[in-house]
Amino acid sequence: MSSGAKTDTNPLIHRDRLFPADPTSRAIARALYASVKDLPIISPHGHTDPSWYAENKPFPDPAKLFVVPDHYIFRMLYSQGIPLESLGIKRTDKAPVESDPRKIWRIFANHYHLFRGTPTRLWLDHAFATLFDLDTRLSAATADVYYDRIAERLALPEFRPRALFERFNIEAIATTESPLDPLKSHEAIRASSWKGKVVTAYRPDPVVDPEFEGFRANVLRFGEITACDTSNWQGYLAAHRQRRAFFKSYGATSSDHGHATARTADLTNAEAESLFAKALRGECTPEEADLFRGQMLTEMAAMSMDDGLVLQIHPGSSRNHNAALFTKFGRDMGADIPTRTDYVHALKPLLDRFGNETKLTIILFTLDETSYSRELAPLAGHYPALRLGPAWWFYDSPEGMRRLRELTTETAGFYNTVGFNDDTRAYLSIPARHDVARRVDCAYLADLVSSHRMDEDEAFEVAHDLAYRLAKDAYKL
């Protein structure tokens, strides 16, 4: 049976991908998508390297662009027994790893079949087709053709980071930096004549998580940077306020917190002082470390009441689960595994203080989809301070996006969410990710219209809001 026409322009990407099979709904989805596909991209939460925009240098080669920095890719290859060393991933002990980018690319191409049915495959084929005019599937047979075409294009001025930023129609993008980062790249961007909007986001994990490697040294360095005495509780809080103001001066509109749980706390000042002192001495039990992180979420919310930063909470990940890999290669090696997450009880101390505030925005993310309809939608559908972000990492996928809408809309509606924000390190996947999100949302809205649960004019308005306005407004961009 024929798969039907692929697309008007390239056989790698079908024009109706992700749209409903039913002809009536598909026609509505096409019309909705046509109205939003060219909207500017708001990318308020991500992990692209700010030096790309500051230095505007050509990307070095296809392997370093697509494979080496992207845990979506190398975690899948690793799961099939491919050593990370063979993919050019640097080891913490400086031991030699593969340095020939063409060899790395060939390994990737030889195993491209592993990505069948995954969102990664959608993003990659989109980039290959739209940016490099490749129209045959990546495989061992086409590996060198792909490599040569991509390498040739990367040498052109129009493939430098700033030119791609404009080609992608990115209106604003946020990077994510530690409080210990001097933000030199953001300073260079500001000093340049380029007008692209690249802002930072405040990610204080290295200085708020007692279980973060080098926590005590990080806190002492934090004090040196801010000239605050971070050996005591009040000086430590003052350092955060000062650093948040510094990040705001470079465009930050949000803070971002990747804690193991959603736990919050509201300790007395004396209790907090005692717990902080214990953390600095390295004497916290795992339970006390979690309590301290929970207290810091409440402290960050209090600071947001003053400085206006949006508070993002990313709980529910057992980070660096593969201990051997963490020892060899460090953090963020694709071994962050979802865990069951409690929101109703965990967030109550924070919500008791700030949940009814209308000038505070707290955006909740999850890796635990079972909490969508049971906890997250009812919470966001009640507390003025709460909004729902899309699911992240494993679940920024077509099925995950669809489930988000199905499990939360009837309780929280669309307007207690923040549209789509991509959690990416891979620059060239940004347009593809937004395209997938827009297609999935248009397909969902088309089903609502065709089943007479929403009028068509409303669907067009919601499609625009989900693709653009909600993220722009929630993140104050």
* CATH label of the domain that carries residue 71: 1.10.2020.10
Per-residue confidence (pLDDT) for residue 395, from 0 to 100: 62
> In the listed set 140, 157, 174, which residue is the last one of a domain according to the structure?
157
Considering Cα of 392, then 396, then 399, then 405, what sign does the dihedral take? Answer: positive
The DSSP letter of residue 199 is: E
At position 239, the amino acid (one-letter code) is A
Q: What is the pLDDT of residue 397?
A: 84
Q: Tell whether 80 and 170 lie within a shared domain.
A: no
413 with 469, same domain: the answer is yes
∠ Cα 242 247 251 (to 5°): 140
Cβ proximity of 278 and 221 under 8 Å:
no
Domains held by the chain: number: 2
Position with higher pLDDT, 328 vs 309: 309
Q: Are residues 470 and 392 in the same domain?
A: yes
Is 432 a member of any domain? yes
What are the pLDDT digits (tens) for 28-73? 999 999 999 999 999 998 889 999 999 999 999 999 999 998 888 9
Phi, psi for 402 (deg, rounded to 5): -65, -45
**Count of positions (residues) in the chain:** 477
For residue 1, the model assigns a pLDDT of 27
| Cβ-based neighbours of 14, under 8 Å, separated by 6 or more | 3, 4, 5, 6, 7
Does any domain span residue 7?
Answer: no
Cα dihedral 354, 356, 361, 362 in deg (nearest 10): 60
Q: Residue 455, class by beta-carbon neighbours within 10 Å (0-12 exposed, 13-18 middle, 19+ buried)?
A: exposed
Q: Answer whether residue 79 shows pLDDT above 70.
A: yes
Specify the 3-state DSSP secondary structure of 4: coil
129 and 191 in a single domain? The answer is no
Written as six digits, the tokens of 356 are 């009814």
- Domain coverage including residue 207: 161-474
Quote the CA–CA distance of 254 and 418 in Å, as a whole number: 13
Confirm whether 23 is domain-assigned: no
Alpha-carbon distance of 159 to 167, in angstroms, equals 9
Q: Which two tokens stand for residue 2?
A: 């024929």
Task: Tell me the C-alpha distance between 97 and 417, whole Å.
Answer: 43
- Helix (H) and strand (E) counts in the chain: 22, 9
Domain membership of residue 193 (yes or no) is yes
User: 69 and 215: one domain?
Assistant: no
Most confident of 318-327, 330-339, 429-438: 429-438
365 vs 474: CA distance, rounded Å: 14
Tally Cβ neighbours within 10 Å of residue 399.
12
Hey, which residues does 318 pair with through a beta bridge? Answer: 337
Could you tell me if 330 and 470 lie in one domain?
yes
Cα 65 to Cα 73, 114, 453: the distances in Å are: 11, 19, 44
358-382 average pLDDT score? 94
What digits encode the pLDDT tens for the residues 133-185?
A: 999 999 999 999 999 999 999 999 999 999 999 999 999 999 999 999 999 99
Last residue of a domain, one of 130, 157, 184: 157
Same domain, 296 and 387: yes
The pLDDT value given to residue 421: 85
Q: Is the same domain home to 188 and 148?
A: no
Asked if pLDDT for residue 335 goes beyond 80, the answer is no
Using the structure block, give the residue that is written with the tokens 């024009």: 15
Q: How far is CA 341 from the centre of its chain?
A: 19
Last residue of a domain, one of 157, 178, 205: 157
Do 373 and 229 lie in one domain? The reply is yes
pLDDT value at 392 more than 90? no
Residue 41 lies in a domain: no
Mean residue pLDDT of the chain comes to 94
**pLDDT tens digit sequence for 317-327:** 888 888 888 88
**Across 15-140, where does the E strand assignment appear?**
41-43
Q: Decide if 33 is inside a domain.
A: no
**pTM reported for the whole predicted model:** 0.94
Same domain, 98 and 228: no
- Assess whether 131 and 243 both reside in one domain: no
CATH number, residue 365? 3.20.20.140
Binned at pLDDT 50, 70 and 90, residue 4 comes out as very low
Is residue 391's pLDDT more than 70?
Answer: no
In terms of domains, do 318 and 353 share one?
Answer: yes
pLDDT, residue 5, reads: 41
Q: Is 18 in contact with 443 (CB distance < 8 Å)?
A: yes
Residue 276, in any domain of the structure: yes
34, part of any domain: no
| Percent of the chain whose pLDDT exceeds 70 | 97
